[in-house]
Chains A and B, each alone.
Chain A
Amino acid sequence: QSVLTQPPSVSAAPGQKVTISCSGSSSNIGNNYVSWYQQLPGTAPKLLIYENTKRPSGIPDRFSGSKSGTSATLDITGLQTGDEADYYCGTWDSSLSVGVFGGGTKLTAL
């Protein structure tokens, strides 16, 4: 049981928009920055979004993040088949003094 809650799977047609949600609490998302990671099959995770909305260099602007209260969202527009991967949200939990991740969301491009 993960501290952060994500839907197990999402799907959309290529070219469409998909949204992945991440729900937490006041001790984690509510009072800390959220980051998002993409894990392509058989590879290590890669940082997609940090500090709720910022993209590292090299990450396309098709990927965007937002946060409101104790929830965060990753949006992917212009979906490509190459975006098929597992996506994880993550943050720090200030009460527990631990890092926390969501359970992961498997994205399928139909």
Chain B
Amino acid sequence: EVQVEESGGGLVQPGGSLRLSCAASGFTFSSYAMSWVRQAPGKGLEWVSAISSRGSSTYYVDSVKGRFTISRDNSKNTLYVQMNSLRAEDTAVYYCAKGPKEGAFDSWGQGTLVTVSS
């Protein structure tokens, strides 16, 4: 069974940093691109970042470019996102998602809440 599980969320002050992790199992992690998708309270889904299967290519939404860094460790079946210079508008549930594969995200974690507030 495919599983992805996020961890690392919490309360952080504006300007602070946080690193989220996503542990994957049940599939050949190193063969798939992976993504982070977030959802602000009461709002819709927003794609944040993606990384290719080997980690050689990364992609970001404009609002996080220069502040977030996506990475992966295929030996540990783990996806990461380092979030720096956090802003109030980064407050959201962050989901780890398998994909995109032909544009689709076929497995999602339960999400981890990041709250940026003083």
A34 within 8 A of B: yes
In the assembled complex, the Cα of A2 lies from the Cα of B100 at a distance in Å of 19
Check A98–B47 contact: CB distance below 8 A. Answer: yes
With an 8 Å Cβ cutoff, the count of chain B residues facing the other chain is: 23
Residue from A34, A50, A51, A88 whose CB has the most chain B CB atoms within 10 Å:
A50
The residue from B45, B61, B102 contacting A98, defined by CB atoms under 8 A apart = B61
Select which of B62, B100, B102, B108 is within 8 A of A45 by beta carbon: B108
Contact A100 to B104, CB < 8 A, known contacts A44-B95, A44-B111: no
Decide: A100 near B47, CB < 8 A? Known: A44-B95, A90-B103: yes
- Chain A, interface size: which category? 20 to 34
Contacts of B95 in A (CB 8 A): 44-45
Is A56 interfacial (CB 8 A cutoff)? yes
Number of A-B residue pairs having CB atoms within 8 Å of each other in the complex: 70
Contacts of A47 in B (CB 8 A): 104-108
Is the CB of A15 closer than 8 A to any CB of chain B?
no
Q: Is the CB of B106 within 8 A of A56?
A: yes
Chain B 44-74 per-residue mask, 1 if CB under 8 angstroms from chain A, else 0? 1111001000000001111000000000000
List 20 extra interface pairs beyond A47-B106, A97-B59, CB under 8 A. Answer: A34-B103, A37-B105, A39-B45, A44-B95, A45-B37, A45-B105, A46-B108, A47-B108, A88-B45, A90-B45, A90-B103, A90-B105, A91-B103, A92-B103, A98-B60, A98-B62, A99-B50, A99-B100, A102-B44, A104-B45
Interface residues of B (CB under 8 A from A): 35, 37, 44-47, 50, 59-62, 95, 100, 102-111
